[in-house]
Amino acid sequence: MTAPRAVVFGLAGPSLKPDERRFFRATDPLGFILFARNIETPDQVRALTASLRETIGRADAPILIDQEGGRVQRLRPPHWRSAPPAARFGDAFARDPDQAKEAARLNHRLIAADLAQLGITVDCAPVLDVPVLGAHDVIGDRAFARSPAVVAELGRAAVAGLLAGGVIPVVKHIPGHGRAFADSHRELPKVVAARAELEATDFAPFQALSDAPWAMTAHVLYAALDPALPATQSKAVIGGIVRGAIGFAGVLVSDDLGMSALAGDFRARAEACLGAGCDVVLHCSGAMAEMQAVADGSSPLAPAAKKRIVAAEARRRKSLEPFDWAEGCARLDALLARN
């Protein structure tokens, strides 16, 4: 059987359109990603995730979402809990590290409970970036703290909470977006820090969580690592740093191909990311012409990528723990009230 195509696609609205159904059946993407435009009610989202998997004929197809908390959460009240931003746990850590780690784990266990009930199996969280003073606010309070060690500890707690809820975490944005003085949605950030400085700060949380099941790349150019290409499209960064110095061995997915940090048409963007060593490319907009170009630039999953995806899915299933949502919510509220 042919492996699925090494791409995750978005879609336009809250239900599949006939042309989307035909396209997804023909192209067989690895999985899908949901945004606010795809979400109305719990029953509607459950029906959507089921129809996406039915369309491509794979019950285990990963369905992704960005549910970090704070300003980046696609599931919102009144149907879902509003989760705090990551920085809230960093502030708590300064007062009581153990309680902060418990709170971070509980928060992400609650997020996982919401996602699992909807058929969503992958959360693009936590953010492991380490912001520097003056950096663009695109990361901001999405980061836990400005200390690499604190980010690593809280990130480990978040990863554990998601996995305990049967959801695969995606640590991001490897090898680090915290020094970016521009928003990669709009332009290519260029970081001039020396490699030794990057290793001591930006890389450190990712190295500490190099056993995470998935990671998402940074559309950032690191002049000391590759003066010509952003990390997502750089063999030097993906091979030498992400897989090498950092030692990340899980599934590597690109950040969104639609972001303006990347140059070229969509076929070329997909080809460059996969050629540099990404396992999977991500295209979020749901725009059909763009998706067709991305599909043209994407190939079936490489054998090594398929093994990583299978291993991550097995870990997700194995890690699931019993959980009382009401008790967990009450305990998290109590912890945050103390901090």
Q: CA distances (Å), 287 to each of 15, 24, 283, in order?
A: 15, 13, 9
Query: 3-state DSSP call for residue 291?
Result: helix
Q: Which two tokens stand for residue 105?
A: 């784990």
**Catalytic residue chosen out of the listed positions 43, 185, 211, 333:** 185
Identified catalytic residue from 255, 256, 279, 283: 255
Amino acid at 206: F
Closest CA to 151 of 171, 169, 135: 171
Active site residue 185: yes
Is the C-alpha dihedral spanning 154, 158, 160, 164 positive or negative?
positive
Strands 72-73 vs 122-123: parallel, antiparallel or unpaired: unpaired
Contact between 215 and 247 (Cβ < 8 Å): no
Q: Which residue has the tokens 């502030």?
A: 91
Distance between CA atoms of residues 17 and 21, nearest Å: 6
Maximum Cα–Cα distance across the chain: 54
DSSP 1-32: -PPPEEEEE--SSSS--HHHHHHHHHH-EEEE
Residues whose CB is less than 8 angstroms from the CB of residue 41 and which lie 6 or more positions away in sequence, other chains included: 79
User: Hey, which residues are catalytic here?
Assistant: 185, 255
